[in-house]
Amino acid sequence: MAPLTASSCAAPEQTVELPEGTNTTDQAVVQGRVLADAAPVGGAFVRLLDATGEFTAEVVSSPEGVFRFYTAPGTWTVRALSRAGSGQADLAVTTGVFEVDVPVAR
């Protein structure tokens, strides 16, 4: 077995395009950008919370402010925390791809 490295334990790279072969027929993909005054915010901590407000997952936004989560259908909150401020967006998803931008402010 190969030793674990920081790169092997890291979250997948956050890009605008879905990875080839992503199945959206039985899962939801929640993706978008973190924005401050319409400018992308890279390095934001983006958290996915379930319908009860329970923490589910976290990723760091790309330099372009992009984030992505793979989820089950349901009601979710996407919360972003950054040096530019914080913000959140609530959404209900079924299967497929759902785009949501999260504006942040102080």
Residue type for 52, please? Answer: T
Judge whether 9 lies within some domain: no
Judge whether 8 lies within some domain: no
- Could you tell me the CATH number of the domain that includes residue 64? 2.60.40.10
Judge whether 85 lies within some domain: yes
Q: On the CB side of 67, how many CA atoms lie within 13 Å of its CA?
A: 28
Report whether 93 contacts 73 (CB < 8 A): yes
Residues of the chain with confidence (pLDDT) below 70 = 1-16
Model pLDDT, residue 106: 85
* Residue range of the domain that includes 73: 26-103
- In total, how many domains does the chain have? 1
Judge whether 14 lies within some domain: no
Tokens of 16: 């605008």
* Percentage of residues in the chain having pLDDT higher than 90: 74
